[in-house]
Each structure stands twice: as structure tokens, then as C-alpha cells.
A = this chain, B = another copy of it.
Amino acid sequence: MSSSGAAAGRGDRTEQPPMRDALIAAAFRLFPERGYEQTTVDDIVALAGVGRRSFFRYFPTKEDVVFPDHERCLADMTAFLAASPDDAEPVARVCDAARLVLRMYAENPSFSVQRYRLTKQVPGLRAYELSVVWHYERAMARFLRERFAGHPDGILRADVIAAAVVAAHNNALRAWLRSDGREDAEAALDHALGQVLEAFGAAAPARPPSPPPGASGASPEDVVVVVSRRDAPLWRVVRELESVLGHG
């Protein structure tokens, strides 16, 4: 894997200023050679052939050059959520937002794998990454909180689902990074998000709004979850079950 190639790959796609990309390419050529801590901003600007002030125009700190696409990706994801149709199912929409984030990684496998290795080695970068992840999670939670406004436990539910979606995303992302970017990242994420949808799709009304019970759209493999208080009369629970299972 060529670090300059990885950074150039980024540049082609993201249409960022060439100077910014030159700085990223220089940084990712130096980090593996000298180590992250030992590489100074002066080293990076010298290799990129630009002035020191140019570096800080694009990157407030040396850590920021390691995550050059995150601010844009967070903005894209937030805009995607803000543009959600009113009738979009909120949990499914947040899952789609997670797919958007994964795509940023998956489109640049060698760059993403290189950063993963770097982040594992440098505690300061891990801390930076936690804060990046936290921003994604909060943006998802904000969207869900709005959609769940007025529901009992809307805020709690929003927070828990956002955390679960992010955990599923990170699980799929890490598996893909450990495969050196060879496996199918999007398939892994679809599978992981399936677990979240299975868990939290259940607290939506047990009876799907459509198709009606017994209609051909319902598959025998569907899972039906009935939640009941222990003191509920059995006949009420059975009546509810009958209608959901389509035996009624």
C-alpha cells in the first residue's frame, strides 16, 4: 500500500484544494516512516513544499490531518438526516445515515486501513476518534429525538437507538479494517444493522401498519413479539396475539 497513493486517491474523489491534499499525502508518508509523535508539522510542510501557515489554514492541529474527511462527512450525514421525508421510518433512516458514513471509509480502503493502524498505536488519536464518533452519535440522536418528540421515553429511546446504530457501524467497520479493506464493508454493515432493526423494530407497534394481518406480505419467518404485564388477563393477550398472527 502506498501512502501517497492513498492520499492521492482521496484527493481525486473529494475535490479538495490540491494544497490540502498535498499536506495529507505528506503527513501519511511521514507517519509510518517516523512515527506519528516524532513527525512535526514542520516536517509535513517541508515535504509538501508549502508554508507552515498553510497547514494551519486547513488543520487546526496535527491530529486533524489524520481525520481530514470527518468534518465534511458529519456535515453530509447531518444534512441527509435533515432532508428526511416526513414519512421516513426514523430508525431505518438513521441506519441509512450510518451507511453514508461507512461509504466514506470504504471508498478509500488503503487510506482507512493506514489510519486504523495509526490510531491503534497513538492514544491521543484514539481519544480524537472517540470524539469524532461521539459527534456522529449525537447527530443521530438529535434527529431521533425530534422524530420521537411527544412519545413517552422519546429521548431515552433516541439515545439508546443512536448508540446501538453506532456500535453496529463500528463493529462492521472494524471487521472490514481488520480484513485490510478486502471484505465487503457494506454487506457487513447491512448485517449488523439488521440486528439493531430486529431489536428496535419490535417496540414499534407489534402489528405492522400494513399489510393487514394474514395478508400475503407477512412472511412466516417474521418474528412476533408480545409484551404484556403479568397481571393482564389471558383472554386479552390471546385476542391481541390472534390478530397479529392472523389466526383471528
A interface residues with partner B (beta carbon < 8 Å): 126-127, 130-131, 134, 153, 155-157, 159-160, 162-164, 166-168, 170-171, 191-192, 195-196, 198-200, 202-203, 218-232, 234, 237-238, 241-242, 245-247
Chain B hits for A223, CB < 8 A: 227-230
* Nearest neighbor of A153 in chain B, beta-carbon distance: B195
Chain B hits for A171, CB < 8 A: 155-156, 159-160
- By the criterion CB–CB under 8 Å, are B234 and A245 in contact? yes
Main secondary structure of the interface of A (DSSP, over half): helix
Given known A167-B163, A168-B160, A195-B153, contact A227–B224 (CB-CB < 8 A): yes
Chain B hits for A230, CB < 8 A: 218-224, 245-246
In the complex, besides A159-B167, A222-B230, 7 extra interface pairs with C-beta distance below 8 angstroms are A160-B168, A199-B200, A199-B203, A223-B229, A224-B229, A225-B225, A228-B241
Report how far A204 CA is from B135 CA in the complex, Å.
32
- By the criterion CB–CB under 8 Å, are B220 and A245 in contact? no
Chain B hits for A159, CB < 8 A: 167-168, 170-171
Tally of this chain's copies: 2
Chain B hits for A153, CB < 8 A: 191, 195
Chain B hits for A192, CB < 8 A: 156, 160
Chain B hits for A168, CB < 8 A: 156, 159-160
Chain B hits for A220, CB < 8 A: 229-231
Q: Lowest 7 A-B CB distances belong to which pairs? A: A220-B231, A163-B167, A222-B230, A199-B199, A163-B163, A130-B130, A160-B167
Given known A228-B226, A229-B222, contact A162–B167 (CB-CB < 8 A): yes
Shortest CB–CB separation between residue A165 and chain B, in angstroms? Answer: 9
Shortest CB–CB separation between residue A132 and chain B, in angstroms? Answer: 10
Task: Give the interface centre of A164, A202, A234 by most chain B CB atoms within 10 Å.
Answer: A164
Chain B hits for A228, CB < 8 A: 223-226, 241, 245
Report how far A219 CA is from B157 CA in the complex, Å.
24
